[in-house]
């Protein structure tokens, strides 16, 4: 079962999985809220080894019934409320989905597989975020052993869910793996996120909003590279372990926006500098973390994964996608 499979990252994972593992039967569970859309799975139409179920991961009866009906032996759990600004406005929604929903899935897995389940047969994979580690200064990287220091309601809810997953492994022997990834980008991301916001503003001739001075730094990971990482972690990661997944690509927000402007102008035959003229600095987000950066040594050395997408190539593909999408 892939939860959140009609969302941005989830739909790319479903698309990859059903095409590369035709022997697997895949249940896609998604609430189909504002960020989940069945059209994200259009490329999977005509492939017969998956089914979409509209439902809430907090619905314990539904989740149990899916385990029973489909005899699930693996869960890739991506369903989550994920936008920091929304978490500031409505923290309880994030507690409900990200914490209660995760525990509901853990309980169903434990009930179906039993205590001390065979890790060669069963696996619960929890996909999380680097934001649980807090904020870095100008130097340093997040390691798997970095202490948690969440700074927003979103990251606090993800940190809590991470702890529950580890607790079920240590308490009940549930076979789990976890990953904490950096900022994803690519086609099909909901337009509240930075890159689609910028492209839509460029297309519509509106000001491009940049928080504060634009100096907040993120490590950008192409969604296709993340999908390959999830594949190898699910199949080969050590039970009970966490793997950090990063793109080796730190950018401050202002530099990222300027690059997007150059790519957009070149693709659309606009004079150089046209996009940058639309940049507008706005009041910074509350509690805005300064810098995130991932050390992905463990997944590289243990599992042989490394990001492959060149940043500007990934941005060009992304800009092309959003340029063709209706607003």
**Rounded to 5°, angle at Cα 88 from 83 and 94:** 60
Going from N- to C-terminal start, the domains of the chain cover: 2-185+221-248+289-309
Q: Is 322 a catalytic residue?
A: no
User: Taking the complete model, does pTM exceed 0.85, yes or no?
Assistant: yes
Q: Which CATH class is domain 2-185+221-248+289-309?
A: alpha beta
Q: Which of 131, 144, 162, 295 is catalytic?
A: 131
Q: Which of 154, 243, 292, 322 is catalytic?
A: 154
Q: Which of 56, 81, 130, 231 is catalytic?
A: 130
Residue owning tokens 């929304």:
86
Q: Say if residues 183 and 190 touch (Cβ distance below 8 Å).
A: no
Burial of 241 (0-12, 13-18, 19+ CB in 10 A): middle
Q: Is 154 a catalytic residue?
A: yes
The pLDDT value given to residue 326: 52
Quick one: DSSP state of residue 268? T
**Tokens found for residue 144:** 């798997």
The pLDDT value given to residue 62: 98
Q: Is 21 a catalytic residue?
A: no
Measured CA distances, 246 to 103, 138, 188, 200 (Å): 26, 17, 20, 26
Question: CB neighbours (10 Å) of residue 322?
Answer: 22
The pLDDT value given to residue 323: 81
Mean pLDDT by groups of 10 residues along the chain of 327 residues: 97 97 97 93 94 98 98 98 92 97 98 97 97 92 97 96 98 98 94 90 93 92 98 98 95 95 94 93 88 96 97 94 71
Q: Say if residues 267 and 316 touch (Cβ distance below 8 Å).
A: yes
The pLDDT value given to residue 325: 62
The pLDDT value given to residue 327: 47
């Amino acid at each position: 079962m892939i939860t959140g499979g009609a969302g941005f990252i989830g739909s790319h994972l479903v698309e990859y999985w059903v095409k590369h593992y035709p022997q697997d039967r895949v249940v896609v569970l998604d609430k189909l809220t504002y960020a989940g859309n069945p059209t994200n799975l259009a490329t999977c139409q005509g492939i017969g080894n998956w089914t979409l179920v509209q439902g809430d991961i907090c619905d314990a009866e539904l989740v149990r019934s899916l385990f029973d009906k489909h005899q699930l032996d693996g869960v890739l759990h991506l369903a989550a409320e994920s936008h920091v600004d929304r978490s500031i406005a409505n923290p309880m929604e994030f507690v409900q989905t990200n914490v209660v929903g995760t525990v509901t899935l853990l309980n169903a897995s434990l009930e179906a597989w039993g205590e001390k389940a065979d890790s060669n047969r069963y696996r619960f994979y929890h996909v999380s975020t680097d934001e649980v580690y807090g904020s870095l200064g100008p130097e340093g990287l997040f390691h798997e052993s970095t202490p948690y220091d969440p700074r927003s309601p979103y990251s606090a809810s993800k940190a809590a869910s991470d702890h529950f997953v580890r607790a079920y492994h240590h308490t009940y022997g549930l076979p789990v793996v976890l990953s904490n990834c950096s900022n994803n980008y690519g086609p099909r991301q909901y337009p509240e996120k930075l890159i689609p916001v910028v492209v839509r503003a460029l297309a519509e001739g509106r000001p491009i909003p940049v928080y504060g001075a634009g100096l907040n730094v993120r490590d950008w990971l192409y969604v296709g590279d993340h999908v390959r990482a999830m594949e190898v972690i699910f199949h080969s990661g050590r039970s009970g372990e966490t793997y950090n997944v990063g793109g080796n690509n730190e950018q401050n927000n202002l530099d990222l926006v300027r690059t997007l402007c150059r790519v957009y102008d070149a693709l659309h035959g606009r004079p150089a500098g046209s996009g940058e003229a639309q940049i507008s600095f706005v009041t910074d987000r509350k509690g805005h973390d300064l810098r995130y950066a991932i050390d992905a040594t463990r997944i590289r050395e243990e599992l042989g994964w490394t990001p492959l997408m060149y940043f500007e190539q990934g941005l060009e593909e992304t800009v092309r996608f959003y340029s063709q999408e209706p607003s």
